[in-house]
Amino acid sequence: MPNGKVFLRETTGLLREFGYLDALWINLSIGGVLFTVNYVTSTAPLIGGDPIIGGLITFIGMIPIVLAFSIITMITPRTAGDYVFTTRFFSPALGFIGNASYLVTTVPIYMGVTVVTLVSFGFAPLFTYWGVVLHNSMFTQLANSIQSPYITLLIGGGLTALVGSLPIFGYKVFKLANSLVIPLVLIASVIILILLVLTPRTSALSALNQFANNVTLVQAINVWGASYNSPPPSITSFINTLALNPLYIVGLSYVFSVIYIAGEVRQVNKNIPLAMLTTLAIYTFILIASTALSYHTFSYTFLSNLYTLSIDYGRSPFPVIPYLTFLAAIISRNIYISSFIFIVVIIQLLWYQMSGVFLGSRLLISYSLDRILPNFFADINERFHTPIKAIIVTIILTLIGAVFFVLPVTAGIALLLSAAGIALILIFPITIVGFSLLFYRIKRREEFEKSIVRNSIFGGRAYYVIAIGTIVYSLFVFQNT
């Protein structure tokens, strides 16, 4: 660091134990992989637009954002680096608000939602599938019973608390869990894409009829769509294509999450930017491919009708909402492949919870070191080198958030807050980071001249392009959200 002037606080006590692959796994996990695939592929047919062009536009728009956070990593390679950078060089208040927005969106909101989706996306579809295929009503009844609010909270909350506690036991346990889960998630993603490529449309739609035990199911959905969803949103409209940007951002906006553990990554100036760019490329490919191929396999019109009926009208033709993982499991016509997909969905959701706890605890450490929170949040266990108290508090915040999503009285308001989560991230911290970079270059010329950014590819005009591009694109997507 230039003359040691950038980072003005005591050391965290954390260790630099993560390499490039570790940073990549953490970044992939916090984006939600299969959850994001389900969300994007079920919502895109309600919007229309070209999924390939829309995804590529989002990819291009995200590049300056990735580069902006890369610059911040170079200047302040510490835990919650954007918080440190913004509070020191732009505005302490905006720095905290920006970072806290990420914490609130990720922990009580999205992790709280995941407590619920562990059942609705994971266990309920699995038991429903087993009940139909095995002709076993016990599984069908189980799928229905676990979706009651209190059982959902018990299952999802209990598993979240259990898996979320794993980071307490140190880097080796956390790294081992990541190394075991990521291959399963990527294999399941590839299997889904292969099923979509190899299954002819007639065979796919026939499988849906057979699973529902209704030979006219697909026809009935399209007949309903002719009255209530006619015509479907234009797939060729450029306006609709641009409207896909906020949808893709659901997964892609989390590509900078790894910056929050920058103080624990080796060769941080190389590994974190590379992890962010790799995450961006992987997520863009998976989201574009899964959406475009789902249109190819089931037809865009049918999917638009299906999700309009299931989501907009709340009348799913199946016992659960037929998200893409559910549809892929049906068309596989193989109970082992299908069960693997469902089980990996559950594992991936738990993986998200574990990584969310890990990142959330690091943000609490940063606030504690700046005396925004009590000192005990920054206590590092000498045996495991982990912030046990901060981890426990993060789990508690998640469970509190889950209660609001489960209880019928508050679920509606909580869902509205979750819908606003991406908007919060677009403004805080992404847009604030863009303004922070401009302020740092224009008003803090002396620090800029001394920083490593000045002597890198990010210096000069490229620096302005990155900062302004971050601001413009984030505000563009925000006003379309």
Give the pLDDT of residue 6: 41
Q: 3-class SS at 79?
A: strand
Single-letter code of the amino acid located at 444: R
Give the DSSP letter of residue 323.
-
- Amino acid type, 103: L
CA–CA distance, 2 with 76 (Å, rounded to integer): 10
Instruction: Look at residue 4 and give its three-state secondary structure.
Output: helix
CB of 236 closer than 8 Å to CB of 320: no
One DSSP character per residue, 229-296 reads: S-SPPPSS-HHHHHHTHHHHHHHHTTTTGGGGBGGGBTTHHHHHHHHHHHHHHHHHHHHHHHHHHHHH
| pLDDT tens, the chain, 481 aa long | 444 444 344 556 677 889 999 999 999 999 889 999 999 999 999 999 999 999 999 999 999 999 999 999 988 888 888 898 998 888 888 888 888 888 988 899 999 999 999 999 999 999 999 999 999 999 999 999 999 999 999 999 999 999 999 999 998 899 999 999 999 999 999 999 999 999 999 999 999 999 999 999 999 999 999 999 999 999 999 999 999 999 999 888 889 999 998 888 999 989 999 999 999 999 999 999 999 999 999 999 999 999 999 999 999 999 889 999 999 999 999 999 999 999 999 999 999 999 999 999 999 998 998 888 898 888 988 888 899 999 999 999 999 999 988 876 665 665 556 666 777 777 778 899 999 999 888 877 777 777 778 778 788 889 999 999 999 999 998 887 7
Three-state DSSP state, 355: helix
Cis peptide before 232 (omega within 30 of 0): no
3-class state of residue 18 by DSSP: strand
Residue 96's nearest CA partner among 440, 429, 479, 400 is 429
Q: What pLDDT is attached to residue 446?
A: 76
The one-letter code for the residue type at 66 is V
What are 140's two structure tokens?
């069908």
Note the Cα 376 to chain centre separation in Å.
Answer: 29
Integer angstrom CA distances of residue 325 from 122, 234, 331: 10, 25, 10
Q: Which residues pair with 18 in a beta bridge?
A: 265
- Spell out where 146-241 has E strands: none
User: Which residue reads 């609001």 in tokens?
Assistant: 404
Rounded CA gap, 235 and 31, in Å? 26
How far, in whole angstroms, is CA 55 from its chain's centroid? Answer: 16
Measured between alpha carbons, how far is 31 from 27 in angstroms, rounded to an integer?
7
Of the candidates 185, 137, 220, 225, the residue with the CA atom closest to the CA atom of residue 31: 185
- What's the CA gap between 392 and 396, in Å, rounded? 6
Domain spans of the chain? Answer: 2-480
Q: Exposure pattern of 120-140 as b/e (b: 16+ CB <10 Å)? A: bbbbbbbbbbbbbbeeeeebb
Measured distance CA(244)–CA(247) in Å, rounded: 5
Residue reference for tokens 């919650």 = 80
**SS3 string of 179-216?**
HHHHHHHHHHHHHHHHHHHHCCHHHHHHHHHHHHCCCC
Give the predicted TM-score (pTM) of the model: 0.91
DSSP one-letter code for 167: G
d(CA 79, CA 263): 4
Give the whole-angstrom CA distance, residue 35 versus residue 110: 11
Give, in words, the CATH class of 2-480. mainly alpha
Exposed/middle/buried for 31, CB within 10 Å: 0-12, 13-18, 19+?
buried
Question: What is the 8-class DSSP label of residue 377?
Answer: G
* Residue 319 CB neighbour total at 10 angstroms: 18
Distance CA 123, CA 117 (A): 9
